[in-house]
Structure 1
Amino acid sequence: MISSAFGGILAANRVVSEDIAKLIKKQNLFVEVIIAPDFTKKALEILKERKNCRILKWKNPVFPKRQIRTCFTGILSQDRDTQIEKETNFNTVTKRKPTEREKKGLLIAAVATKHLKSNSVALVKNGALLAMGCGQTSRVDALKQAINKAKKFRFSIKDAVLSSEAFFPFPDCVEIAGKAGISAIIQPGGSKNDEASVKMADKYKIAMVTTGFRHFKH
């Protein structure tokens, strides 16, 4: 049995056209908020037929440069994570280099994990997010969560790419990824056991790149 998304938020990074609105209607997704830079007139007519759905148009937000976290004994003030990975940040550490298709997927996956609670991973294939695992005390658990979720929705993981927002302390995640058919990995690197993870990636012919930047959101 496949469970559906329920009571969520649908966000778009482009103008919602009539065709997109028709697809949303056809899928019969129950979303309480739809937000996008803009909507065409026809799209609005279709979307306004939905009951109890808030349609929002967003403007370019201005975020504060600092973030505040509270704790029992005070507060923590830290710089906002504004890092966005680019191909120029890629350092290929395995024998096989990522293909152009894999590079594009790795960049998307890296953006996803940046915004997930640690420990987190994301699986991407053909430009789409398949599944994510986040908020786990173990990176292995986060990866298993993502793989199980992708399988639950009958997504093929073969040749998907994987992003981890922090380094792999051990090669176990790479081994799990290899057995699942994942073809490329992006991660910060910097662990004492990096060499073991690289050897495991080479064993499964996985292309792995490191960026030298750790997101690790809490």
Structure 2
Amino acid sequence: MPAAPDFPKPADRASVKRALISVSDKTGLVEAAKVLAELGVELVSTGGTRAAIAGAGLAVKDISDLTNFPEMMDGRVKTLHPIVHGGLLSVRDAPDHAKAMADHGIGGIDLVYVNLYPFEATVAAGGDFETCVENIDIGGPAMIRSAAKNHGYVCVCTEIADLEEVLAELKATGTTSLALRKSLAARAYARTATYDAAISAWFAAALGDIAPKRRAIGGELVQTMRYGENPHQSASFYRFADPRPGVATAKQLQGKELSYNNINDTDAAFELIAEFDPANGPACAIIKHANPCGVATGKTMVEAYERALACDPTSAFGGIIALNQKLDAATATEILKLLTEVVIAPDADADAVALFAKKKNVRLLTTGGLPDPLAAGTTFKSVSGGFLVQSRDDARLTAADLTVVTKRAPTEAEIRDMLFAFTIAKHVKSNAIVYARAGQTLGVGAGQMNRKDSARIAALRAADFGLDLKGSACASEAFFPFPDGLIQAADAGCTAVIQPGGSIGDQKVIDAADERGLAMVFTGVRVFRH
């Protein structure tokens, strides 16, 4: 490990005499360059950035004017040169650095503004392998890292907001503070880290490597929260470079700032409702503490909402409502009769938005679309000293996937009910039991330590709200290890059961189902949700 040289400590204030600018996103570029020129800063640039600055009538040197070396290899080599990196890395007050600069004709570079090739945007746009590779920036990260390391003397900016902060300080004082330069350096390293994280994740996916030796996760800050899951916890919200449609990309039309728990629950609600293709009709999910307390389809959105609410109107109080189609005025009118934290939908019509505007505290989010429940992706969960990574649960069953294991085969209506219930069970905390009939949940038992209790609690909830379980389907997201849970469901009135199967006690469970005249199918697929 290199020992720290005995460099002089940098002064708090540093002047900016020369700036190197090389950007892909040219938003605000010319305006900022004009301010720098007015402040007497020499401008140095590359390629299209230099052309844009020169086109505004500003004096700007090409990078080759400093290096005496032309750009080459389709622009792959232009700033990777000792003249550039010596100007960035030189410790101005160190005698040997000053001598090396003088001996080799290296001038200091005091400000770097570089935003990187749009790799993340290229991937998001579906670029092919070669195009994505060409959009991996090499010189940009190198300059950013050099400038950030030498923050004692150099300002490094990776987005226009950073540069505007520097310009404000230069206009006010004529110099920059060490505190600002340190802050910019920290941001710069975070930017190159998230950039490299995006590249490494894309490369691993392109190679089909599901467990690379090293995995990096990068995100951009969306929101610093007042607190986390509880008031004594701090929290913040980050967005991936290529996010799924949902709460991370949603437009908040109104309402208070989203809390940590709001975001967690809203994500659960929207991922669940995405299981229901809008082309097949309206669907509504109501979530509380990341568990569905009611899910239903309907001929209209307001009918879907009312049927979902009927499953557990008590738990729905203060919950999250997700819709798979546009929010209309009729549905908005009914929703606003209930205290609701968040409503999220692909879109909302003007009349619905106007109605919500009368309830200032209700958050209304629109996303422009639904996430694809079958799309490949990964999920992350922190543990002490590390994190778990797994592929997204993309289980999706059809009638053809079911194996009838009882003497009585299910009817077509029972098959529809079982598939509906199992889809919901996939989004219920384990152990999970869901009763459903005709596209409506009737009772949900979530997060219990044994399956019998989940079946009993789900039945009690249905009874509490006057919902008859006779003729319903019962879904269990994992196998019944013993007949007791199935017997509990049968006694509650269900006539069809869907479960993964695979227990050493399967035959006893099948026998119990046959004794009660139930139809039961095995899926061969478990959908635990912890």
TM-score, with structure 1 as normaliser: 0.90
**2:338 is the alignment partner of 1:16:** no
Of the three residues 359, 378, 387, the one matched with 1:75 is 387
Of the three residues 11, 14, 33, the one matched with 2:342 is 33
Distance in 2, Cα, partners of 1:66 & 1:5: 30
Distance in 2, Cα, partners of 1:20 & 1:103: 29
Q: Which has the larger radius of gyration?
A: 2
**2:483 is the alignment partner of 1:171:** yes
Q: Which has the higher contact order (CA 8 A, sep 6+)?
A: 1
Of the three residues 452, 456, 472, the one matched with 1:144 is 456
Q: CA deviation at 1:90?
A: 0.9
Q: CA deviation at 1:70?
A: 2.7
Of the three residues 162, 168, 171, the one matched with 2:474 is 162
For 1:1-218, what aligned pairs fall within 5 Å after superposition?
A: 3=314, 5-25=316-336, 28-58=337-367, 59-61=369-371, 65-218=377-530
| The 10-residue stretch of structure 1 (144-153 or 36-45) with the greater mean CA deviation from structure 2 | 36-45
Q: Percent identity of the aligned residues?
A: 39
Q: CA deviation at 1:3?
A: 3.8
Distance in 1, Cα, partners of 2:382 & 2:364: 33
| The 10-residue stretch of structure 1 (96-105 or 57-66) with the greater mean CA deviation from structure 2 | 57-66
Letter aligned with residue 60 of structure 1:
L
Distance in 2, Cα, partners of 1:32 & 1:217: 24
| The 10-residue stretch of structure 1 (40-49 or 103-112) with the greater mean CA deviation from structure 2 | 40-49
Letter aligned with residue 144 of structure 1:
R
Post-superposition CA distance 1:40-62 (Å, at most 9, x none): 22222223322411111123347
Q: CA deviation at 1:4?
A: 5.8
Distance in 2, Cα, partners of 1:134 & 1:67: 21
Letter aligned with residue 476 of structure 2:
S
Distance in 1, Cα, partners of 2:497 & 2:464: 22
Q: As a proportion of its length, which structure holds more strand?
A: 1
Q: CA deviation at 1:11?
A: 1.0
Tell whether the 8 Å contact from 2:472 to 2:493 is kept in structure 1 after alignment. Answer: yes
Structure 1 stretches of at least 4 aligned residues deviating more than 4 Å after TM superposition: none
Letter aligned with residue 40 of structure 1:
D
Distance in 2, Cα, partners of 1:209 & 1:69: 32
Q: CA deviation at 1:64?
A: 6.8
Post-superposition CA distance 1:143-201 (Å, at most 9, x none): 11111111111211111111111001111111111111101111000111111111111
Tell whether the 8 Å contact from 2:320 to 2:342 is kept in structure 1 after alignment. Answer: yes
Post-superposition CA distance 1:91-135 (Å, at most 9, x none): 111111222221111111111111122111111122111221111
Q: CA deviation at 1:9?
A: 1.0
Letter aligned with residue 370 of structure 2:
N
Tell whether the 8 Å contact from 2:323 to 2:344 is kept in structure 1 after alignment. Answer: yes
SS of the counterpart of 1:215? coil
CA gap of 1:199–1:54, structure 2 versus 1, over 3 A, is same
| The 10-residue stretch of structure 1 (74-83 or 86-95) with the greater mean CA deviation from structure 2 | 74-83
Tell whether the 8 Å contact from 2:324 to 2:370 is kept in structure 1 after alignment. Answer: no
Letter aligned with residue 20 of structure 1:
T
Letter aligned with residue 202 of structure 1:
D
Distance in 2, Cα, partners of 1:48 & 1:107: 38
| The 10-residue stretch of structure 1 (192-201 or 65-74) with the greater mean CA deviation from structure 2 | 65-74
Distance in 2, Cα, partners of 1:92 & 1:51: 51
Q: CA deviation at 1:73?
A: 4.9
Distance in 2, Cα, partners of 1:186 & 1:170: 15
SS of the counterpart of 2:333? helix
SS of the counterpart of 1:124? strand
Tell whether the 8 Å contact from 2:393 to 2:527 is kept in structure 1 after alignment. Answer: yes
Aligned residues: 215
